[in-house]
Structures are given as structure tokens and as C-alpha cells.
Amino acid sequence: MQTRKLGNSDLSITPIGFGAWAIGGGGWAFAWGAQDDADSIAAIQEAIDLGVNWIDTAPVYGLGHSEEVVGKALKQLKTKPYVFTKCGRVWDENRQIGKRLKRASVRQECEDSLRRLGIDVIDLYQMHWPEPDEDIEEGFSEMLALQREGKVRWVGVSNYSVEQMQRVSKLGPITSLQPPYHMLRRDIESAILPHAGANNIGVIGYSPMASGLLSGAMTRERIAAMPDDDWRKSKNQYYQEPGLTRTLQLVELLREIGARHNKSPGEVAIAWTLRRPEVTAAIVGARKPGQVTGIIGAAEWRLTGEELSQIEKSLV
């Protein structure tokens, strides 16, 4: 599979990476419901076998569990992928999530992530959210200190505005930005993507299929049958009316376009995000074997100008 250089780093990454949010399992605020760890590890193995060379996770996914599952998978993999994780979200004994970017907290999170993942160095360490805003300089400074010490190789940010990137870039270079980006959420196109492109900041977009809604596998019946602890059921605006009906109609267009090329609606959705030159790669989640196989075709396939126009008209 082709690779692309990520920002100012020496990392050459595949256009699709394995997203480990959902494999964190149930029992926390933004869970996707209970997951089978053996299935999760098999999905990671499948992704690596298909050529994917990086995994993106975070401590808060399953309150440590996602990193632990990734760590177990890494022990079994003959080909070792790059490992990306994050900092800035912590939790207490009651599993309540808090926002913290103080130096000591960022350092402790890094040490905990290294332990759970079973690795000596994190390839890309990202500030998960710029919250509290007043502490982003302190948190980023500590991430740079961890880089100097060799605990992390490169540092990036996630969910940042242009103004926030400008603030922390005074302290040191930003390697990457991780923003949400899909057909239903295009706000980064006006200022954030141009800023990243102009400043050699790699962009790895998350939720390119709008948390599964654009995958082609989602129906009203499946949404209704989701477990109560699947955050999409009540907290994801795209899964709610009045927009849901229109989005399901959009999926049928993606299905039609994909059928011309033997591609799934999800592959069309992912390829659409990768059309932008500023976007280095997309994070695609999987929870069981077979799911990565259904989306890997988006890595190198591109939509035609006519197909992009068709999609654009449907989004207006």
C-alpha cells in the first residue's frame, strides 16, 4: 500500500489507519457497547495483514481498556505498526471523565499509556482536546519535553482551531492535527485544512464514515436495536432526526457510486475525505474481522470529478 509522509515527521503512514475507539468496550461515557477482545485483536491483525501500518488509540477509550487491547495485539503481531495515542482526558474512581493538561498529569498519562501498550516509545503523542483552553501551552510544553526525553517520537494535536495551533506552535512544531471530517461535517475545509497545508501539519481525519452512519451497513432498525450504552444512539447528532432521513438517502447515492467500482458506500465516504491534498490519512474503526476488508479499497482508489460533483450536489 502507498504511504504518505506525516507532516514534519519521518513517519510514512498508509492512507488508512486502524481506529481503536470502539474496541475500548462498554461502561464509559462514549462507549460503542460491549466488545469481544478476541474479535478486536483479530481485527487489528487483519488490518496489519492488509497493509495498514498504524493504530490510533487513546487512554480514555474504555478508560484504559483500548490501550490494553492494542498492547495485547502488539505482542502477537510479527509486523509492528506505528502506535499513536493521546493525552488530556483523565478519569476518577467513579469512571467520571475530566479534562486536564497540567504538566504532571500529561507526564503521568504518558507513562500509563506506555505501560498499557507495552512499548518503550509512542510514535505520535497527541493532545486529545484543547481543554482546558488556558492550559494548552502547559500541556504542549510537557509533550515536547517527553519528545526530547525520547518517550514520544512526534507530537500532534486533535480538535484544535487555527488560533490554538498558532498559540502552541510558538513553543515547537506541530507534526499533525486530528480533526473530525466527513461528508456531514465539513467545517475544517474553510480555514483549518488550508492552515495545516501551509504549515506542513499532517492531517489524520477521524470518523470519515460519520461513526458508521455512511458505511452502508446502518439502517433504522439497526439504530433502534443499538445497546443503550452505544453513545451514537443518544449523543450523536447525525443519528437523530431531522437529518437522519436525508443521510440515509445520501448513503444510497454512495452505494450507487460504489457499485460502479465494486466498492462499498463506506469506501466511497472514506475516499471522499482523502480527496483533499491536506489530508494525509483517515482513521477507520473496526471491531471484528471482516470490517477492515470492507473498507481497505478506499486507501488508493479515488473518485472521479463527475462522481465528486454528484456527491457535492447531494450535500447542498
Angle in degrees, CA 233, 21, 51, rounded to 5:
125
Q: The C-alpha cell of 146 is what?
A: 517527553
Cα distances from 201 to residues 32, 145, 196, in angstroms, run 30, 20, 5
40-96: per-residue pLDDT in tens?
999 999 999 999 999 999 999 999 999 999 999 999 999 999 999 999 999 999 999
With cut-offs at 50, 70 and 90, classify the pLDDT of residue 267. Answer: very high
Biggest distance spanned by C-alpha atoms of the chain: 54
Block residue for cell numbers 461513526: 211
187-231: per-residue pLDDT in tens?
999 999 999 999 999 999 999 999 889 998 888 888 888 888 888
Per-domain boundaries in the chain: 4-211+266-302
Catalytic residue (choose from 61, 82, 125, 239):
61
* Beta-ladder partners of 55: 18, 83
316, pLDDT greater than 80? no
Block residue for cell numbers 483500548: 66
Catalytic residue flag (residue 61): yes
Query: Does the domain spanning 4-211+266-302 belong to CATH 3.20.20.100?
Result: yes
Distance CA 83, CA 289 (A): 20
Element (H or E) spanning 203, and its range? Answer: strand 202-205
* Beta-ladder partners of 97: 91
With cut-offs at 50, 70 and 90, classify the pLDDT of residue 239. Answer: confident
Q: The C-alpha cell of 63 is what?
A: 478508560
- pTM value surpassing 0.75: yes
Which of 305, 302, 286 shows the shortest CA–CA distance to 294?
286
Distance CA 210, CA 76 (A): 30
Angle in degrees, CA 296, 42, 23, rounded to 5:
85
Write down how long the chain is. 316
Identify whether the C-beta of residue 20 lies closer than 8 Å to the C-beta of residue 61.
Answer: yes
